[in-house]
């Protein structure tokens, strides 16, 4: 297709395998009845993704309320297990420009969120950072203590079932439009709903407290969820360690030690 003024095109001639295809699969998977409007993939190829162009407007309280309610509905659409990729996709995805591991296929999925989070959201990036010399052995041990606690179920809540999450829900991927919030650029998978909520505030977001209050009205959050925000932010911090280097090691390490 030829891009027009109403079309937004992302292109990358050196895109790794599936880079735009998994994004398009995630956009389709997240578009559920009653959920947050998701930008629609119009065209996808190995080096290109076209979507409708969105026109931003200033955030409002009413739009924040609606976003919170709709985000809960999107999460409640569910996922078959923690780490499951979006429908139509079987291999790994991407967060930013680095690979995002899903739970193994066709091996049996992991049994708990803690095991998934440790094995597929923390340890792959810890290994990369250690192999690159960005973290040393003593720092790695501190991170591994937390991973062991996660695998042992230290932060699992059996009442929390796998949710359909955006996976990279920082404020830059929340687009405020005249007809409400639209979401872009997902790293979609079956995950913990607190992960999306923690990401919303990672770099600051307007109307955040109204979004969270509306979300909690639609699907009440478990006790202590605010104390776990940092735990869910550790994964994006580690991806920043891998992508941008040692400047992110200290905050990531402090976060890990808080929860181990």
User: What pLDDT, in 10s, does the model give residues 31-41?
Assistant: 999 999 999 99
Q: What is the mean pLDDT of the chain?
A: 94
Q: Is the pLDDT of residue 157 over 90?
A: yes
What is the pLDDT averaged over residues 157-161? Answer: 93
Mean pLDDT for the stretch of residues 184-200? 97
Q: Is 136 left (phi over 0), alpha (psi -120 to 50) or beta?
A: beta
For residue 108, pLDDT beyond 80: no
| pLDDT at 183 exceeding the cut of 90 | yes
Q: What is the structure's pLDDT at 96?
A: 82
Per-residue model confidence (pLDDT) at position 106 = 52
pLDDT band at 123 (very low <50, low <70, confident <90, very high): very high
- Give yes or no for a contact between 251 and 237, defined as CB atoms under 8 angstroms apart: yes
Classify residue 176 by burial, with Cβ atoms within 10 Å: 0-12, 13-18, 19+: buried
How crowded is the C-beta side of 225, counted as CA atoms within 13 Å? 18
Greatest alpha-carbon pair distance for the chain in Å reads 53
Is residue 91 very low, low, confident or very high in pLDDT (cuts 50, 70, 90)? confident
User: Residue 105: its pLDDT value, please?
Assistant: 60
243, burial (CB in 10 Å: exposed 0-12, middle 13-18, buried 19+): middle
Average pLDDT over residues 144-163: 96
Q: Is the pLDDT of residue 243 over 60?
A: yes
Q: Which residues contact 95 (CB under 8 A, 6 or more apart)?
A: 167, 168, 187, 236, 239
In the structure, what pLDDT confidence band is assigned to residue 88 with cuts at 50, 70 and 90? Answer: confident
What pLDDT does residue 194 have?
98
Q: Which residues have a Cβ under 8 Å from the Cβ of 28 and sit 6 or more positions away?
A: 38, 41, 86, 87, 88
- Determine what percent of the chain is predicted with pLDDT higher than 90: 86
Name every residue whose Cβ is closer than 8 Å to that of residue 126 and which is 6 or more positions away in sequence: 135, 140, 143, 144, 147, 238
What's the pLDDT band for 43 if we cut at 50, 70, 90?
very high
Average of pLDDT values for 251-256?
A: 96
Q: How much is the pLDDT for 5?
A: 79
Instruction: Supply the pLDDT for residue 3.
Output: 59
H helical segments located in 42-185: 61-76, 113-116, 123-131, 137-151
The pLDDT of residue 1 is above 70: no
pLDDT for the residue numbered 97:
82
Kindly report, residue by residue over 46-79, the tens digit of the pLDDT.
999 999 999 999 999 999 999 999 999 999 999 9
Distance separating alpha carbons of residues 115 and 123, to the nearest angstrom: 11
Q: Are strands 7-11 and 48-52 parallel, antiparallel or unpaired?
A: antiparallel
Q: What is the pLDDT of residue 101?
A: 87
CB contact burial 81-110 (16+ within 10 A = b; e otherwise): bbbbbbeebeebbbbeeebbbbbeeeeebb
Q: How confident is the model at residue 107 (pLDDT cuts 50, 70, 90)?
A: low
pLDDT at 208 over 70: yes
Does the pLDDT of residue 4 top 80, yes or no?
no
């Amino acid at each position: 297709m030829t891009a027009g003024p109403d079309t937004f095109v992302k292109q990358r001639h050196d895109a790794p395998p599936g880079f735009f295809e998994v994004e398009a699969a995630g956009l389709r998977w997240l578009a559920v009845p009653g959920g947050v409007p998701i930008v629609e993939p119009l065209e996808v190829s190995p080096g290109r993704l076209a979507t409708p162009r969105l026109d931003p407007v200033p955030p409002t309280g009413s739009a924040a309320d609606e976003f919170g309610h709709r985000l809960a509905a999107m999460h409640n659409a569910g996922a078959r297990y923690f780490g499951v990729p979006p429908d139509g996709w079987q291999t790994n995805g991407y967060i930013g420009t680095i690979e995002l591991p899903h739970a193994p296929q066709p091996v049996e999925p992991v049994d708990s969120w803690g095991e998934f989070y440790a094995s597929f959201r923390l340890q792959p990036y810890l290994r990369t950072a250690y192999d690159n010399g960005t973290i040393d052995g003593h720092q790695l041990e501190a991170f591994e203590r937390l991973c062991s606690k996660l695998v042992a179920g230290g932060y699992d809540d059996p009442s929390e079932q796998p949710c359909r999450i955006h996976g990279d829900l920082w404020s830059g991927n929340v687009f405020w439009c005249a007809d409400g919030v639209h979401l872009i650029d997902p790293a979609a998978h079956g995950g913990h709903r607190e992960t999306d909520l923690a990401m919303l505030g990672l770099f600051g977001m307007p109307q955040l407290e109204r979004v969270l209050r509306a979300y909690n009205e639609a699907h009440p959050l478990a006790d202590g969820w605010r104390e776990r925000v940092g735990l869910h932010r550790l994964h994006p911090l580690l991806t920043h360690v891998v992508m941008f280097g040692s400047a992110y090691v200290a905050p990531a390490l402090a976060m890990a030690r808080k929860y181990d």
